[in-house]
Amino acid sequence: MSLKTSTRDKLKIVSTATICTALYKRGFRNQMIQGVQPLDPSKATMVGEAFTLRYMPAREDLNPISVFQDRSHPQRRAVEECPPGAVFVIDSRKDARAASAGSPPPPCAADARDP
């Protein structure tokens, strides 16, 4: 199901508290992401359907950096398959220090930053 443009526009002007309350009233409790901050506060509010990836730390003995050269690697596929208009959400197990996408960002992430 795709997010309608009219719905997206309405969500851009609604506060996070209002959205949380609406979710709570519909039985969705504890729906939150901690520590979210805008990369550039001067840009428009980001709204979209969540495209999620649960990131599991790599074991150095089993996952050398070369595994990411494989286009079928789950993390690489998730980054490359995130649909236009979606918000790529990475669950790094509540560890903000986890390197989830690297630097520089993948080309598709750089494209998303510059509308």
pLDDT score of 15 = 87
pLDDT of residue 114: 46
pLDDT tier, 115 (very low <50, low <70, confident <90, very high otherwise) = very low
Phi, psi of 81 (to 5 degrees): -100, 0
CA dist 65 and 46 (Å) reads: 31
The pLDDT score that the predictor gives to residue 30 is 82
Q: Write the single-letter amino acid at 92.
A: S
